[in-house]
Structure 1
Amino acid sequence: MTDPTFEFTRAITRKPAASITEGLRAEDIGTPDLERMLAAHAHYVETLKRTGAEVIELPPLEDFPDAVFVEDTALCLPQGAVLMRPGAPSRMGEVAEMSPTLHRVYDDVRRIEGPGHIEGGDILVTGREVLVGRSDRTDEQGVEELRNIISEWGHKLREVLTPPGVLHFKTDCSLLDGETILSTKRLDDSGCFEGYRVLHTAEGEEAAANSIRFNQFVLCPDGFPETAEMLDKAGFEVVQIDNAECAKLDGGMSCLSLRF
């Protein structure tokens, strides 16, 4: 039996648009280089395909600079998909752009109607529950509306708090297998992963926490050698991908795909 938390047959990605230079960022650490981002994105997509999965590659959206970060628009579960309601006003239109693709691949597509807000970057699906981090982009009302939807599908939702100054819950954690989580020490110290096996990112390499397990690979941002070595020694097959340009927009490995 497959594990729906990390064994996938399909993924959805969207090519970066030239308008990516106008993307949102918590702090300005430089303007993204489109050519370098396109090369890194191509490597990311090719790595997903190497697992045998089908990758649905959507065209760039010039009107939505952050649209490359498709994960925030939806939650994909085995039973159905839920269209999110982003907390950043400039990103609300991305959901309508994603809707037709999800309706093509899912029979059951629900929607967060509001008034609350929730983004996919704050949701971690494990082998036993759906963890949702309250953050600047995800509020209590958004979490409750999602809880009501996915409880119909038999999923248990647990709300946790994202550390101050951290954009999304998954900025600081990722799933390595159904029971194992890669986390920064600051997030794990909150106690939110009690009962799980937790591996910590190396000191100074907190940005490596936003990795993804996709079938046999762990896609990890490049430039964090101690964390990559730790994952390798723990038995994971690591593929390092240049994330320098996405990082300028607070983006990482999980943000770049919807996996199901």
Structure 2
Amino acid sequence: MTNPSFEFSRAITRRPSSSIVDGLRAKDLGTPDLDKMLTAHAAYVATLQKTGAEVIELPPLDGYPDGVFVEDTALCLPQGAVLMRPGAPSRMGEVAEMAPTLRAAYDDVRQIKGPGHIEGGDILVTGREVLVGRSDRTDAEGVAELSAIMTEWGHTLREVFTPPGVLHFKTDCSLLDAETILSTQRLDASGCFDGYRVIHVAEGEEAAANSIRFNQYVLSPAGFPRTAEKLRKAGYEVVEISNTECAKLDGGMSCLSLRF
């Protein structure tokens, strides 16, 4: 029996576009370097493929600078896919670009119609529930619309709250296995993970919280050695991938793929 929260046979990624230099960012940490991002993206795709998964690589979207961050466009579950409604106006069109690929992969594709907004970066699927963080990009109406679909599909949805100044819920947490969460201390302090085993990222390494468990590997951003060591000591097989360029656009490991 596979665990749909971290065992996957397929993933969708999108190559970064040269327009990435115009991507959204909360604060200016410098202009992303496309060549460096392409190299890191290729390493990311290769790691997913190494697990035996099929990776569907979509072409760059010049009209959408943030198009590489495909996770925000949809939620993929065994029952079907749900097309999101991004909270950033410049990203709304990315959903229509993703829709044909998901319709080819799934019989049942639903859509968040609005007026609310919700992005995939705010959704963490665990072994027992779907956690959705309210954030600057995900509002109460968006959560309510998704909740109705989750109920129909037999999932429990629980709304939680993302710390102030943190872009997405998964900026500060990731799933390590069905019962274990990697989290920053500030997010865990809210009590949202009560009942789970929680591993805290090392102090000063908060950006390492956006990792992903994909089959046997935990893909983790490079440059956070104490957190990587913690994960290895806990028995996880960690693959570190450069995230310097995506980080300039508030992006991380989970943002770069849809996994199902």
Scaled to the shorter chain, the TM-score interval is over 0.9
Q: CA deviation at 1:9?
A: 0.1
Residue 229 of structure 2 aligns with which residue?
229
CA deviation string 1:51-89 (max 9, x = no partner)? 000000000000000000000000000000000000000
Give the SS at the match of 1:199. Answer: strand
Give the SS at the match of 2:21. Answer: helix
Q: CA deviation at 1:233?
A: 0.4
User: How many Å separate the matches in 2 of 1:215 and 1:43?
Assistant: 16
User: How many Å separate the matches in 1 of 2:258 and 2:150?
Assistant: 17
Residue 4 of structure 1 aligns with which residue?
4
Q: CA deviation at 1:150?
A: 1.4
Residue 214 of structure 2 aligns with which residue?
214
User: How many Å separate the matches in 2 of 1:111 and 1:156?
Assistant: 18
User: How many Å separate the matches in 1 of 2:123 and 2:5?
Assistant: 12
Residue 83 of structure 1 aligns with which residue?
83
Q: Which runs of structure 2 are paired with 1:114-129 in the superposition (5 Å)?
A: 114-129=114-129
Q: Which amino acid aligns with 1:228?
A: A
Q: Which runs of structure 2 are paired with 1:1-260 in the superposition (5 Å)?
A: 1-260=1-260
Q: Which amino acid aligns with 1:115?
A: P
- After TM superposition, what 4+ stretches of structure 1 lie above 3 angstroms from structure 2? none
User: How many Å separate the matches in 2 of 1:61 and 1:191?
Assistant: 39
Stretches of structure 2 lacking an aligned partner (at least 5 in a row): none
Q: CA deviation at 1:244?
A: 0.1
Q: Which amino acid aligns with 1:136?
A: D
Stretches of structure 1 lacking an aligned partner (at least 5 in a row): none
- After TM superposition, the score normalised by the length of structure 2 is 1.00
- After TM superposition, the score normalised by the length of structure 1 is 1.00
Q: Which amino acid aligns with 2:5?
A: T
Q: Which amino acid aligns with 1:153?
A: W
Q: Which amino acid aligns with 1:100?
A: P
CA deviation string 1:94-150 (max 9, x = no partner)? 000000000000000000000000000000000000000000000000000000011
CA deviation string 1:131-179 (max 9, x = no partner)? 0000000000000000001110000000000000000000000000000
Q: CA deviation at 1:92?
A: 0.1
Give the SS at the match of 2:92. Answer: helix
Q: Which amino acid aligns with 1:196?
A: Y
The RMSD of aligned alpha carbons is 0.2
User: How many Å separate the matches in 1 of 2:176 and 2:96?
Assistant: 31
Q: CA deviation at 1:204?
A: 0.1
User: How many Å separate the matches in 1 of 2:107 and 2:157?
Assistant: 22
Give the SS at the match of 2:7. Answer: coil
User: How many Å separate the matches in 2 of 1:5 and 1:148?
Assistant: 20
CA deviation string 1:228-249 (max 9, x = no partner)? 0000000000000000000000
Give the SS at the match of 2:98. Answer: helix
